């Protein structure tokens, strides 16, 4: 394979006037050739231009030698050894608490997680009333706080995750379905109106486009679930009852699960089952691995009652299905 030419970064030395008058130098000998005979010109030391250059080179060499000696000289009579370095590293590991894997994963995904609020007429379903009571109690309000002005009532709070840095957000369809207005809040606190640009009802997914986005918006990294196994560590990041972003950690407890909505209107399949705590408000948030990569979108929790509280089983739509909602499967 042909290699590109390499050039020295050293600046070219100007040709001295007396050098220009000297005979041209002989071409450099190739390896294995006999040394070329020296020209019959006067010794370089007697030519003024070359003499100045030689003096300069001697000064540079002397300075370099002095610097190397000073660099190698131990400071204060002490010289670090590999044993000293190993002892310092060991002491740091013993005295400093390293962040957990879940902490590092949450730090990675957090800039891509958004709070999603839908506004409109108040729902009167048992699930909606339970979620509203939970939100009010989380904010220190009475469970049955009075409703706001018409058209500005919070119908639901969920979570979303940015998958394209132009403000494309994935969330659950049930979070925004029927909303008159949708507002998203980014990691830096910026609030923006968002519109629904696509839906995938069979997977309870919706695609949002924010009207305003932060200058440094970071899109999440998506990870194929092909190698996912029960027992793998995962974390759910979201806004349970509007509090957050909150993080809960657990493991994958099953794959290819099915779930039927409490109303019996819809059945979801090919779901990831996990045991990281999730509650109303986590819907639409990312389920991530310990590298902070998105494995799926949190969609539902299993509960035989109408309380809608977590009992240890949650479900997420695999990211392969979720990404196809925007028409661009990543794998």
**Could you give the residue numbers annotated as active site?**
174, 204, 283
Task: Give the distance from CA 226 to its chain's centroid.
Answer: 21
- Closest alpha carbon to 113 in 160, 183, 163: 160
Question: Do the Cβ atoms of 323 and 329 come closer than 8 Å?
Answer: yes
Distance between CA atoms of 27 and 222, rounded to whole angstroms? 59
Going by the DSSP 8-state scheme, the letter that residue 189 receives in this structure is S
Give dist(CA 255, CA 240) in Å, integer.
24
CB atoms under 10 Å from CB of 190, counted, come to 15
Residue tagged 């060991």 (tokens): 90
Widest Cα–Cα separation across the chain: 107
- For the residues of 107-145, what is the DSSP string, one character each? HHHGGGEEEEEEESSPP-SHHHHHHHHHHHHHTT--TTP
Question: Rounded to the nearest 5°, which phi and psi values hold at 136?
Answer: -65, -45
Residue given tokens 């999730």 in the structure block: 278
* Sole residue written with tokens 């657990």: 250
């Amino acid at each position: 394979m042909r290699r590109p030419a390499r050039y020295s970064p050293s600046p070219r030395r100007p040709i001295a006037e007396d050098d220009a008058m000297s005979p041209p130098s002989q071409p450099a000998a190739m390896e294995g050739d006999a040394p070329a005979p020296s020209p019959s010109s006067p010794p370089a030391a007697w030519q003024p231009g070359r003499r100045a250059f030689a003096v300069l080179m001697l000064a540079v060499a002397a300075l370099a030698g002095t610097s190397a000696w000073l660099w190698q000289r131990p400071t204060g009579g002490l010289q670090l050894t590999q044993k000293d370095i190993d002892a310092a590293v060991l002491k740091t590991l013993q005295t400093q608490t390293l962040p957990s894997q879940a902490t590092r994963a949450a730090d990675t995904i957090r800039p891509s997680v958004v709070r999603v609020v839908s506004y409109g007429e108040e729902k009167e379903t048992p699930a909606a009333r339970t979620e509203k009571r939970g939100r009010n109690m989380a904010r220190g309000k009475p469970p049955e706080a009075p409703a706001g002005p018409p058209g500005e009532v919070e119908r639901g709070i969920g979570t979303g995750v940015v998958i394209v840095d132009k403000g494309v957000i994935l969330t659950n369809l049930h979070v925004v379905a029927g909303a008159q207005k949708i507002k998203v809040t980014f990691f830096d606190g910026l609030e923006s109106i968002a519109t629904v640009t696509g839906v995938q009802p069979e997977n309870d997914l919706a695609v949002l486009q924010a009207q305003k986005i932060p200058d440094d918006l970071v899109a999440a990294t998506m990870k194929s679930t092909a190698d996912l196994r029960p027992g793998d560590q995962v974390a759910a990041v979201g806004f349970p009852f509007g509090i957050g972003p909150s993080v809960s950690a657990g493991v994958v407890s099953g794959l290819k699960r099915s779930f039927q909505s409490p109303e019996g209107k819809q059945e979801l399949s090919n779901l990831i089952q996990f045991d990281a705590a999730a509650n109303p408000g986590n819907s639409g948030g990312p389920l991530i691995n310990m590298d902070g990569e998105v494995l799926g979108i949190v969609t539902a929790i299993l509960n035989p009652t109408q309380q809608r509280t977590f009992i240890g089983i949650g479900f997420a739509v695999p990211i392969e299905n979720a990404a196809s909602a925007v028409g661009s499967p990543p794998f």
